[in-house]
Amino acid sequence: MKPINEAHVAEPGLAVVDVAAANDQTAFAVQELLAARYAIAPADRTTREPGEPGEPGVRLRCFLDLRQEPGS
């Protein structure tokens, strides 16, 4: 994953959430739970760590704004 940009956490109430899960379905389910409670910039895909053997599972990164209501 790319490094976290300073702008992503520049103010109180902004957060970056990295999800590690066994599969895409689980990672997106966690993202949906977050989206039901917080305003988020959702991820549209997961990533896998390259290499041999690499890390197990998938990763997903989304950005939260705790200052806003979901859907705004």
Q: Where along the chain do its domains lie?
A: 18-65
Interior CA angle at 49 toward 46 and 50, to 5°? 125
What's phi and psi for 8, nearest 5 deg? -65, -20
pLDDT tens digits along 30-48: 999 999 999 999 999 999 8
Average pLDDT over residues 56-64: 91
User: What pLDDT does residue 70 have?
Assistant: 73
59: left (phi over 0), alpha (psi -120 to 50) or beta: beta
- Both tokens of 20, joined, read 């590690």
Average pLDDT over residues 7-25: 88
For the CA atoms of 30, 31, 37, 42, the dihedral, rounded to the nearest 10 degrees, stands at: 170
Residue appearing with tokens 């806003």: 68
User: What pLDDT does residue 7 have?
Assistant: 67
